[in-house]
A and B are shown apart, each in its own frame.
Chain A
């Protein structure tokens, strides 16, 4: 099977790697892909919570690596999406429990069963980043339109180029169209120009993201017509090779507010 390993990373923490991993995983599974999402943030696991699977975990990545269980036993199937599986991180261990070689053989085994393996990397540029990068066929870098996040993204882009990993593509998350319009926020064009990297997604700031996370349901699964949910679906389509134009940035319109109101979100 021609499987792809896509590592999602960012440099800076808190920019939305795990949110993207969960939503992209769900959106890809909804398009018929067999998807494994791997939480590589050992010691600070959160992808289970984002996917609403925190009560179903029996074994984790470190159990697999240390041979306390078989890989298949550690994979947790999503409640609604039969093609989406999570390989959770260990919560009570740290990054030193995982090495690049471990990630390589785990991903090689996953490649047998899945079309797409999404690795949710740890923040930073240390071991947690390095072992998440090792098996990557391609990389998605998440950033926010802010100087510190963009600067850290640039550092990561430099490291990826030095390792000749890639291609790396960029998701700009938490864009506030109204602030961009007033000139009070870095624009998409500014960030793309300065980071000099291909864009694969623009996700507007959207309360629906937090609401979905509160519930443990990926936003891409819900039918509430959110702008962010649409943006995640667009990224999934671009990842699958579709040519999806970038919609113009806009504030939520009347229709969207109405639809959200009647769906009681």
Chain B
């Protein structure tokens, strides 16, 4: 980060913070045995299954592994498309 960037406050988070976020991510993936590639595959297949029944916002779909304590969960966030258009049908 250059002098001017520092002066005008365009700050990157400190590297310790970056390390913590990266460590959290690799530990979550390691513990669950789910690689980023597997997450991508899961996401594609979830989109295929859900979108054959419901209209979803494909670009907004997020699939991730989260951890709280020793429990991990697979979380899929699947936004529906424009629900208003089907109102009153």
Q: How far is the CA of A186 from the CA of B15 in the complex (A)?
A: 8
A residues in contact with B27, CB < 8 Å: 150-151, 154, 194-195
Interface flag for A247 (CB, 8 Å): no
Query: Top 3 A-B pairs ranked by shortest CB distance?
Result: A183-B14, A183-B16, A190-B20
Q: Could you mark each residue 9-42 of chain B with 1 if its beta carbon is under 8 Å from any beta carbon of chain A, else 0?
A: 0000011110110111011001100000000000
Q: B19 and A151: CB pair below 8 A?
A: no
* Residue total for B at the interface (Cβ-Cβ under 8 A): 15
6 extra A-B contacts, CB within 8 A, seeds A151-B27, A186-B19, A194-B23: A154-B30, A182-B16, A184-B15, A184-B16, A186-B20, A194-B20
Q: Is A185 an interface residue (CB 8 A)?
A: yes
Beyond A151-B30, A196-B70, whether A185 also contacts B23 by CB under 8 A is: no
The complex places the Cα of A147 from the Cα of B15 at a distance, in Å, of: 11
Q: Distance in Å from the Cβ of A167 to the closest Cβ of chain B?
A: 15
B residues apposed to A, CB below 8 Å:
14-17, 19-20, 22-24, 26-27, 30-31, 69-70
Task: Tell me the A residues contacting B by CB distance below 8 Å.
Answer: 146-147, 150-151, 154-155, 158, 179-180, 182-187, 190, 194-196
B14 and A155 contact, CB distance less than 8 A: no
CB within 8 Å: A-B pair count:
46
The CA of A182 and the CA of B17, in the complex, are separated in Å by 11
A196 and B69: CB pair below 8 A? yes
- With A154-B31, A158-B31 as known contacts, state yes or no: A182 contacts B14, CB within 8 Å: yes
* Bound-complex Cα distance A194 to B22 (A): 11
Q: Are A185 and B22 in contact (CB under 8 A)?
A: no
Interchain CB contact under 8 A, A147 and B22:
yes
Contact A147 B16 (CB under 8 A): no
List the A residue with the shortest CB-CB distance to B20: A190
Most A CB atoms within 10 A — which of B22, B27, B31? B27
Closest A residue, CB atoms, query B15: A184
